[in-house]
A = this chain, B = another copy of it.
Amino acid sequence: MVDVHAAHPGRLIGRPVDELDTPVLVVDLERFESNVAAMALYCRQQGVAWRPHSKSHKSPDIARIQLAAGALGLTCAKLSEAEIFLEHGVTDILLANQLASPVRLRRLAAMQERGRILGIVDHPEALDMASQAGQRAGHEIPLLVDIDIGMHRTGVRPGPGVVELARAVDAARGVCLAGIMGYEGHVLADHPPAAKQRAAREALAHLVKAREALIDEGLSCDIVSAGSTGSYDLAATHNAVTEIQAGGAIFMDAMYRDRFHVDDRFDFALSLVTTVTGRHDDHIVTDAGFKTLSAFHHEPRVLHREDLEFNYLSAEHGVYRIVNGSGPALGERLCLLPGYGDSTTVLHDQFIGVRQGRVESIWPLAARGALT
């Protein structure tokens, strides 16, 4: 077996995936490509732009594939991530997080020389920092007003405060008003579908009202950004929304399917291959613990097996109950579906892209560890 950690990428290309040492994070390229194409097509059909969040992949290679499929640009959560993607040629990025420090806003201003890097704002003091940074750099920073549409995490509460902040953005030097954004993160697990649809509509209605209020004031509101994988269809079909940020659908995972009821337009493209290192009467142990595979938010699922049930992860051990039959043999390989893909991918340095059982591509998570 080849040690994926130590091997030069060139040594891995063309190898059967069964020859790679485990644990190894594998992307099924056919499913992945189908997921990317499905999201791009769906957005085109709905007349909405796709600005996938990069936090699910942190990979410039995957960003390139998304852009080639028709994505407008990327969404990033961290300034240093956005800088990495910009270096790799992604020139239209929404930095969908508050910065709130003069140095960070100066870096955001500097990035405008090479692309359109949108920021968001939900506080007048942060606007002030942005305005000063933009003026100092001689580049206007385009800003979206972040609206709290029900998640109560970030954003200005709907109402007069939104127009007030938008007016302040419009009036400030060194920045310009590019639109609004909101995140309907609080509705993702709502069920049944009618209840989720109602909750999403109610949340997104705040964006409709805000947009109307801005336009009534003579302010520009070209961009209305929202929409995660757990609600991509509800956001994409909403007439106020101009772009959706749904990122995780390219991989899909157990949480999106089980908790957020994401439909089968998207198939499971990400898996973690692990080896049975312990064989006991009632349980087995694998070589993928929580430093390899996250069980935070949602449990992983063992694929293609009915005899194993997830029990728990220690740092470097995965423990599964044998629920019927005799269970796998020592040394046997298991294929796991991550619970929440996003929190598993950042534990790895690369994705191993596999087609018909062979390694076709190695995609480094170049923006992993860029935490500032």
Contacts and interface: CB of A to CB of B under 8 A. Distances in A.
A80 B315 CA distance: 15
Interface stretch (A173-181, A253-261, A274-282): A274-282
Interface string A77-108: 11010010000000000000111110110010
A45 interface: no
A22 interface: yes
Contacts of A78: 316
Contacts of A101: 1, 21, 275, 331
Interface residues of A, number: 65
A126 interface: yes
Given A1-B101, A3-B372, A346 B343 contact: no
Interface string A242-259: 000000000000000000
A275 B101 CA distance: 9
B154 A5 contact: no
Given A278-B122, A316-B77, A369 B349 contact: yes
Interface stretch (A164-172, A202-210, A289-297): A289-297
28 contacts: A1-B101, A4-B372, A6-B80, A6-B370, A6-B372, A21-B372, A22-B372, A24-B372, A55-B291, A77-B289, A97-B317, A100-B276, A100-B330, A101-B331, A122-B278, A123-B279, A153-B314, A154-B278, A185-B314, A287-B372, A290-B296, A291-B371, A295-B296, A296-B296, A346-B347, A347-B369, A348-B369, A348-B371
Interface of A: 1, 3-6, 21-24, 55, 77-78, 80, 83, 97-101, 103-104, 107, 122-123, 125-126, 129, 152-154, 185, 275-280, 283, 285, 287-292, 294-296, 314-317, 319, 330-331, 342-343, 346-349, 369-372
